[in-house]
Structure 1
Amino acid sequence: MPNRKPTFFSFCKAICFMVFSNVALVTSKSTIEPCSNSDSCNALLGYTLYTDLKVAEVASLFQVDPISILTANAIDISYPDVENHILPSQLFLKIPIICSCVDGIRKSVSTHYKTRPQDTLSSISDSVYAGLVSPDQIREANSIADPSVLDVGENLVVPLPCTCFNGTDNELPAIYLSYVVKPVDTLAGIAASYSTTITDLMNVNAMGSTSIKAGDILAVPLSACASNFPNYASDHGLIVPNGSYAITASHCVQCSCGQGSSNLYCMPASLAVSCSSMQCKSSNLMLGNVTVQQSSAGCKVTSCAYGGYANGTIITWLSSSLRPRCPGPQQFPPLVAPPTDVTKDSVFAPAPAPQSDGATTKVPKTSTVPKISTAPSTGSISVLPPAAAPIGSFSDASILMNSVAALPTALMIYFLIKLISPF
Structure 2
Amino acid sequence: MASPKKPTPLSIPLLFLFLITITITSTSAKTFRCSTSGATCQSVVDYLPRNRTTLRAIQSLFSVPDLHSILGANNLPLNTTANDVVPAQQKLRIPFPCICCNGTGVSNGRPVYTVVPGDGLWHIAAEVFSNIVNSTEIQLANGIQNPDLIQVGQNLTIPLPCSCDEVDGEAVVHYGHEVVAGSSIEGIAKQYNVSQETLMQHNSFTGPQDLKAQDIIDVPLKACSSMVSNNSLDYPLLVPSNAYVVTANTCVKCKCNTALNLRLQCEPAGINASCPLIRCDDSPNLLLGNTTSSGCNATTCSYSGYNTTVQTMVDSFSTCPAPPGPGSSATTLNDAWRLGIFINAGLLCLLFV
8 A Cα contact 1:62 1:111, kept in partner: yes
CA RMSD of aligned residues (A): 3.2
Of 189-198 and 109-118, more deviation after overlay is shown by 189-198
8 A Cα contact 1:173 1:262, kept in partner: no
8 A Cα contact 2:180 2:213, kept in partner: yes
Q: Which residue of 2 aligns with 1:93?
A: 92
Q: Which residue of 1 aligns with 2:67?
A: 66
Residues 254 and 186 of structure 1: is their aligned pair in 2 closer, same or farther, counting only changes over 3 Å?
A: same
Q: Which residue of 2 aligns with 1:226?
A: 225
Q: Does 1:235 align with 2:231?
A: no
Q: Which residue of 1 aligns with 2:202?
A: 204
- Whole-angstrom CA distance in 1 between matches of 2:38 and 2:162: 15
Matches within 5 A, 1:364-379: none
Residues 25 and 208 of structure 1: is their aligned pair in 2 closer, same or farther, counting only changes over 3 Å?
A: farther
8 A Cα contact 2:296 2:319, kept in partner: yes
8 A Cα contact 1:308 1:316, kept in partner: yes
Matches within 5 A, 1:353-372: none
8 A Cα contact 2:33 2:202, kept in partner: no
Q: Which residue of 1 aligns with 2:312?
A: 316
Q: Which residue of 2 aligns with 1:76?
A: 77
8 A Cα contact 2:100 2:163, kept in partner: no
Q: CA deviation at 1:276?
A: 4.3
- Whole-angstrom CA distance in 2 between matches of 1:270 and 1:204: 39
Does the residue aligned with 2:188 lie in a helix, a strand or coil?
A: helix
Residues 39 and 309 of structure 1: is their aligned pair in 2 closer, same or farther, counting only changes over 3 Å?
A: farther
Percent identity reads 32
Superimposed CA distance per residue, residues 45-86 of structure 1 (whole angstroms, 9 cap, x where no aligned partner): 01111222221221111122211111211111124xx12111
Structure 1 residue ranges without an equivalent (≥5): 327-423
Alignment TM-score, normalising by the size of structure 1: 0.66
Q: Which residue of 2 aligns with 1:420?
A: none
- Whole-angstrom CA distance in 2 between matches of 1:56 and 1:229: 31
In structure 2, which of residues 287, 304, 309 is the aligned counterpart of residue 307 of structure 1?
304
**AA paired with 1:176?**
H
Q: Does 1:6 align with 2:1?
A: no
Does the residue aligned with 2:82 lie in a helix, a strand or coil?
A: helix
Does the residue aligned with 1:239 lie in a helix, a strand or coil?
A: coil
- Whole-angstrom CA distance in 1 between matches of 2:144 and 2:287: 54
Superimposed CA distance per residue, residues 85-109 of structure 1 (whole angstroms, 9 cap, x where no aligned partner): 1111111011122211235531113
Q: CA deviation at 1:240?
A: 1.2
**AA paired with 2:257?**
G
Q: Which residue of 2 aligns with 1:159?
A: 159
**AA paired with 2:243?**
S
Matches within 5 A, 1:71-220: 71-79=72-80, 82-109=81-108, 110-166=110-166, 168=167, 170-171=168-169, 174-211=172-209, 212-220=211-219
Q: Which residue of 2 aligns with 1:340?
A: none
**AA paired with 1:254?**
K
Superimposed CA distance per residue, residues 327-375 of structure 1 (whole angstroms, 9 cap, x where no aligned partner): xxxxxxxxxxxxxxxxxxxxxxxxxxxxxxxxxxxxxxxxxxxxxxxxx
Of 271-280 and 105-114, more deviation after overlay is shown by 271-280
Does the residue aligned with 2:285 lie in a helix, a strand or coil?
A: coil
Of 204-213 and 177-186, more deviation after overlay is shown by 177-186
8 A Cα contact 1:43 1:98, kept in partner: yes
Tell me the number of residue pairs that the alignment of Structure 1 and Structure 2 aligns.
312
Q: CA deviation at 1:124?
A: 0.9
Of 276-285 and 133-142, more deviation after overlay is shown by 276-285
Question: Greater relative contact order (Cα 8 A, min sep 6): structure 1 or 2?
Answer: 1
Q: Which residue of 2 aligns with 1:252?
A: 251
Q: CA deviation at 1:37?
A: 3.6
Residues 117 and 186 of structure 1: is their aligned pair in 2 closer, same or farther, counting only changes over 3 Å?
A: farther
8 A Cα contact 1:108 1:159, kept in partner: yes
Q: Which residue of 1 aligns with 2:30?
A: 30
Superimposed CA distance per residue, residues 287-335 of structure 1 (whole angstroms, 9 cap, x where no aligned partner): 101122x3xxx65533211001213x111112456x5869xxxxxxxxx
Does the residue aligned with 1:97 lie in a helix, a strand or coil?
A: strand
**AA paired with 2:246?**
I
Alignment TM-score, normalising by the size of structure 2: 0.78
Greater C-alpha radius of gyration: 2
Residues 184 and 120 of structure 1: is their aligned pair in 2 closer, same or farther, counting only changes over 3 Å?
A: farther
Q: CA deviation at 1:161?
A: 0.3
**AA paired with 2:311?**
I
- Whole-angstrom CA distance in 2 between matches of 1:4 and 1:158: 50
**AA paired with 2:199?**
L
Q: CA deviation at 1:114?
A: 1.0
- Whole-angstrom CA distance in 2 between matches of 1:286 and 1:172: 30
Residues 318 and 189 of structure 1: is their aligned pair in 2 closer, same or farther, counting only changes over 3 Å?
A: closer
